[in-house]
Amino acid sequence: MKSAPSNGATLSGIVRFEIGGYHLSNVRLLPANATEPVYGIFNEVFGYEFAGNSAFLDLDTTKLPNGPLQARIVAYDRFDPTRQVELMSARTWNINNASTTSNFTVNTVVAPPGGAAISGTARHEVRGSGLVNVELLPESGYDLKLGVFNVSDDRTFAWLDLDTRSLPDGIHAARISVFNVTAGQPGAIEAIAMAPRRWTVQNGTAPDFNVRLLSAPLHGETVSGRILLDVRGTGIENVELLPANGYEPKYGKFRVYTTEKAVYLEFDPSILPPGVHEFRISAFNRPAGAADAQEMVIMPVRQWRIQP
C-alpha cells in the first residue's frame, strides 16, 4: 500500500488511493465483509516484471452517502485469477460531502470549429453541471485519449489547453465526452458534449514524436506520499516535471525505458512546502540540453495542493 486515508479519516470530494506490488491485477475497493457493491476499480499504471505493478483510484466520494463507510482493498494474482490478496484490511472512514446537485447537464462548449487548421495550444471548454470527468476522445471508442479536462470544484466548468504537438500532423476526428463519475469507475453515464469534428493539425512536428499522459493527479487534487506520473509514446528522449513557466526548478526527471515505450516518475511532493503549487509536464524528442529539441507540453498547468 502506497497511499490511502488513515482509519477514522473524514473524506470528501476526490480522494486518491495508490497501491504497489508484484503480479497484481483487478484491484478493487470493496466493503469490509463482501464483494458487492464495488466502490471503485483501480487503474493499472504499469506492470513490468522488474518494477512490479502500480495502480491508482481517484474515488469520488460524492457518489457515496454521507456517514461511516467500512472498506478494504482487494487484488487478484495476475497469473492465478482465483487467488485473492487483501492489500488493505478494512478501515472505517466518515464520508462528509456538502450537499451537491444531482443534475448532470452540458450547456455550452468552446472548441475549434469543424474543418479548422490547428497548431500550438488549442483551448477547449465545457460548461454545465455535475461534470466529473471530461475527455477529448477519438471519433469512436475510448482508447488513446487526446486529452483530459481540468474540472472546477463546483463541477460546472471544465477546460483543456490541448498542445496539438501531441498529435501527428494531418487530419484528426475528435469528440468531447462528459461522464458523471471519475475515469474507469462503475455506473458511468456518458454525455456527448461535442459531436465528432475534424481538424487538420499543422505543427511541423517530427512525425515519430507522439506522446500521451497516462496518469497524474487531477487539477486541484490534494497530494501526499509518492505520486506515480506515467507517460507513453514514441520518439521520447526526455520528460520533465516543471513549474508552470520556465524550466527551473526541475521537480523531477522521468525514467525513459525506450524498449518498453514507457516513461514514469515517482515524485515525492514532500520536497516542497505545504500549499498550492503549479506544475506542467513537458516531453522532448532530444536529450536534455540539446539545442534542436522539440518540446511537447503533455500536461498543461495543473494545481496540486501539497499536504504533509
What's the Cα-to-Cα distance from 24 to each of 8, 53, 259, rounded to whole Å? 27, 6, 22
Residue pLDDT, tens place only, 32-54: 998 888 999 988 765 444 445 67
Highest averaged pLDDT of the listed ranges 60-69, 218-227, 263-272, 280-289: 280-289
Highest averaged pLDDT of the listed ranges 103-117, 137-151, 212-226, 258-272: 103-117
How would residue 225 be classed by pLDDT, with cut points 50, 70 and 90? Answer: confident
Cβ atoms of residues 141 and 175 within 8 Å: no
The grid coordinates of residue 51 equal: 518494477
What's the Cα-to-Cα distance from 62 to each of 13, 14, 90, 130, rounded to whole Å? 6, 8, 20, 10
Mean pLDDT lowest among 30-44, 45-59, 77-91, 145-159: 45-59
Count the residues in the chain: 308
Strand-pair category, 43-48 with 105-110: unpaired
User: Rounded to whole angstroms, how far apart are CA atoms 173 and 137?
Assistant: 9
Residue pLDDT, tens place only, 178-193: 998 888 787 788 999 9
Specify the DSSP element, H or E, that contains 174.
strand 170-179
